[in-house]
Amino acid sequence: MIAAPGTWLIRRWALRHAFVDRPGGHKAHASPIALGGGIAITLSIVLPILAGTLFAQMCAANPPAWLPADIVAHLPGIAAKAPIALAVCAAALVLCVLGAIDDARALGPGVKFLVQIALAAILVIVFDLRLLSHLSPPISITLSILWILTLINSLNFLDNMDGLAAGVAAIAAAIFALTSMRAGQLFVPTCCWLLVGALLGFLPFNYHPARIYMGDAGSTVIGLLLAVFTILTTFVDPHQNERPIGVFSPLVVMAVPLYDTFSVFLIRYRLGTPLWRGDRRHFSHRLLNRGMSVRKAVLVIWLATLVTAMPALLLPRATWMEAWGILLHTLFVVLLVALLESSAAHE
């Protein structure tokens, strides 16, 4: 309801005020493209979360009669999550503003990374947003901060082709929504479906040939939200016959974006180029070098993400043999992609 009209309005504003991504350097587009799509995505997620959290706080003690009983049962829990919900929304808005400034005039990787570290540390340490919380605090805190930083920058790097990041993130968010629904959660799947809806509302404007880009104002926010939602999702619950192997579900879902990030880092390291400097060496660009069109390359990566992500739904409740099969399946898909690229490089 917000993302599509919001994207349309922001695109008109961006073109009128020359807030555009101009051709040049490693960029492939031939004419200026509107920026600011990330603003519409962020507002489409943040505003409903804030409204829902406020509603839960107001109605938890005395819910209205028309509200379904299943939702009434979750109101206290949603109200209790108000501090973390407000913190996540604030962090998303900070990243969105920072990204919009960077889209308008490059800030440099140092400033952006310092802000990302600060936001991740605040969420993890101050608001106790930790994964693997059964581990010692130093280990859990470190892993949580690294996970948030990794997904922020993986989605930022993945936003290198029309429709690519939005489609991959929508698939991942949908899988996390279904996983958290199976665990009996309400707050997390609602937030995940909001993210899916925002991305699908934006995608028609961003699919090739794109009429607007999300920019850093969108990609970093999406990465942050995916990281937060994976931390909040219950992947292991012995009472629901869920096993510890379920903690690997986020890695399975995000296998393709993570492969893109680390393969690009490896290529840049071998060539001696700065790790944070944009180029055309991403997985998507390497598919273009094989003769694929932009739309086919994006579709291949969407499908690769879907193939690795869907088995993650089974992972928390899988037997150990089934779980190892799912993990090996993910590894084999990534290896298949790597082998195909390797053979293409030697043709």
Length of the chain equals 347
At residue 20, the 3 state secondary structure works out as: strand
Whole-number pLDDT of residue 49: 94
Assigned token pair, 277? 């400097």
Over the chain (347 residues), what is each successive 10-residue block's mean pLDDT? 91 94 65 93 96 88 83 83 93 97 89 96 95 86 96 93 95 94 87 96 95 96 96 70 73 91 82 71 78 89 93 84 89 84 52
Helices within the chain (DSSP H only): 3-16, 37-59, 69-72, 75-80, 82-104, 109-121, 137-158, 164-182, 187-206, 216-232, 249-253, 255-271, 283-289, 294-309, 320-345
Whole-number pLDDT of residue 345: 47
Whole-number pLDDT of residue 28: 60
List the Cα angle 265/266/267 in 5-degree steps: 95
CB 122 within 8 A of CB 98: no
**Facing residues of 212 across strands?**
34
- Measuring CA to CA, which residue among 106, 47, 92 is closest to residue 217? 92
DSSP states of 141-204: HHHHHHHHHHHHHHHHHH--STTHHHHHHHHHHHHHHHHHHHTT-SHHHHHHHHHHHHHHHHHH
Domain boundary assignment for the chain: 3-345
Whole-number pLDDT of residue 15: 94
Say what the pTM is: 0.91
Task: Please enumerate in sequence order all residues whose Cβ is within 8 A of that of 299, keeping only pairs 6 or more positions apart, or say none.
Answer: none
Whole-number pLDDT of residue 219: 97
List the Cα angle 42/251/290 in 5-degree steps: 85
